[in-house]
Amino acid sequence: MASVTVKVNGRPYPIVCGDGEEDHLKYLAEFVDKKVQDLSNSIANATETQLLLMASLLIADDLSQAYESIDKLKDSAENTAEDKLEEWAEKLETIALQLETA
């Protein structure tokens, strides 16, 4: 197991992670830190715990919206694929009928 120390809101946090995951974990911590900094700049009297919780909720909301978008895209792709299959099936049936009558 590897470990890395990340900083969020100026505080260091030692984190244990899988070997090779250090850079990704640092990237994620920078993402969280950015959310916390944005909140800190807009909310004057929030405690660090409140900032971390609000940042977590904002990130969770973003993730939830991303999942919804993915589901809509999957549904759209499935519907489009089904429509195309039906279209090709109709074309093949038409060709088969033409061949039978030729």
pLDDT digits (tens, 9 = 90+) for 70-96: 999 999 988 898 888 889 999 999 999
**Bridge pairing between strands 2-8 and 11-17:** antiparallel
Contact 29, 9 (CB under 8 A): no
pTM attached to this predicted model: 0.73
C-alpha distances (whole Å) from 62 to each of 24, 78, 93 are 19, 24, 46
pLDDT grade, residue 63 (50/70/90)? Answer: very high
In percent, the amount of the chain with pLDDT more than 70 equals: 100
> Can you give the pLDDT at residue 82?
87
